[in-house]
Structure 1
Amino acid sequence: MLEALGLSARACQVYQAMLDLPGESIDGLAAHCGLLPGQVHDSLDELGELMLVRASAEHPGRMRAVDPSIGLADMVARQEAELAARQAALATSRAAVARMVADRAEHRSAHGERLLGIDAIQHRLEQMGRSTHREVLSSQAGVQRPEDLDASRPADAEALARGVTIRTLYQDSSRHHPHTAHYAHWLLGQGGEVRTAPTVPQRVVIVDRSQALVPIDPEDTRKGALYVTEPGILSALIDLYEQAWNTAVPLGATTPDDPATGLTPTESELLRLLGTGLTDDTAGQRLGISARTVGRHMASIMERLGASSRFEAGLKAAQQGWL
């Protein structure tokens, strides 16, 4: 019990024996405690340093135990003084940290909220994850790097364990990417919500509907990001996200073909994108598929429409209300 005061278990045993057997010799204490005389000597040295034993006036050459109401009370008082000093030092350190955080916030405010490089992005994501209390919304366009997914796993698991709601929106094409699909199913198994759609908004992370991170360059999200807290921008991002979420399909559910056209959601979106004048490469990037896959989809659509060219396919698709 006295170990919390810095006293070893053996010294405690010897001290108790000295209280019970005042005036007992070293050999007697050793026999009573089941120790060697040398061990008793070591314990007496320890007790002496803590001022729990003193030289006996009645038995010269021997030590006597100081009454616990005096010796132990003094030890407790010393421990309390040391604890108060540590608490004061901790309070000083906490104030220094608060000043540093405030200085950094002022610096970010003065220089904008542009985060350059993946390290800065990951650092901010970690801060956002620690501060979240209710909800994390994220949209993940394109193929996710395995190392990025691995880096996200501990933070997601910790947030879900705290009862935070996590909703993640992936592209349909991610169902065919092993690393992304594995992570999405892991997230679903942990209690997160996952949906997919042919196209999703640019990559975004929204925390508690009060802060968001969006890429500076949607074509290369590792270049940098913009940290957003302005209510007007956040409202627009949340509205866009909710619209995409409401039309997406839960992970694990099938995506039925359109009963009127027989087109899959990906084919319908592909026709819409190509109809706006996008090239196969650009449309494929929006859908997260290759230009070759775009070509296969278009060949299937042309066959169903009985069209010999893409131009004719576009006309027939418009005439039949597919666009």
Structure 2
Amino acid sequence: MGMTRGEDRLTGDLAVALYRQMRQPGTHTLALAAIELGLTPEETRLAEKHLQRLGLVTAAELDPDATIHVSPEVAIVRALTTGRHELDLYRDRIAGMHEHLEQIVAQYLPLGVGARHELEVEVMTDLRRVAAYLDSATDLTRTELVSMHPGPAPSPHLLVEGQERNRQLAERGLRLRTLYQRRVAVLPYMAEHLRGLHSLGYDIRVAHVVPLRMLIFDGRRAVIPIDPDNGRAGAIMIDGEVFVRSLLSVFDFCWQNAESHDTIPLDAEDQAPTQQELVILRMLAAGLKDEKIARTLGVSLRTISRTISDLMQRSGAESRFQAGIRAVKLGWID
């Protein structure tokens, strides 16, 4: 059985106290710190597990049975490195899926399509034909339209042009589920646009990573890009319930692991960091000290300290370590 929210908070507090004690002169090991704090074996076990999950403790090189602390800066760098590696693997899998689709469509689809599972696939490189197909598929939709949008964000004038179509879809009583990448959703004009969709009845969620742009109509028609990194390359149109069902499973997986749009503070776009602040956050995450950051950017140490303090306040962090974690959670940095 998992811990309750209160128990989890208590474990987090114990972990902070244990970690702080480990950093005291003359303590060093987790076991000694636990004794000095008077923790029970069970409290020690839970706190150690919490610190291990955050990458803040490790086995000592000279004594594998002893557990020592890892600096917050090193833990951040390791976490970011692991995250980037996992994201690269995810992108590689998506690229591999596109290669497999192209090979299957070109070489095997003509051999395997039967009357029971009709499937039509068309590759369109003419963007006007793509737009016409999207209009037609939208008009034919009767129950549900789902979509994923990783970015870049559409221009404001395109959003204005689509407002009437969005309203018409909502009035038709369709189930409308839309998933946006968080860093797109918090842009000022996008945040306003999404609030408008939400007021019409759209179900909107946000995620830090959205693998590709995709639209699925009634669970039987789908549109995906030819090249996920170049939307102007065209699109692949897929019409066939059996095949599209697999793509819908991909969407549902991303949907279940996303957050409701309501969880984004209304002023999130106003709190988003500037380009220079993003650079500072990445340097902090890489373990650079204030002095090094100031020299690199050619600004005063006082300016850097003030900027970091402001970023901590806007992200709701109580320490530099938490600022890095919160920056990732808010989608400010990868």
TM-score by length of 2: 0.44
Higher relative contact order (CA 8 A, sep 6+): 2
Larger Rg: 1
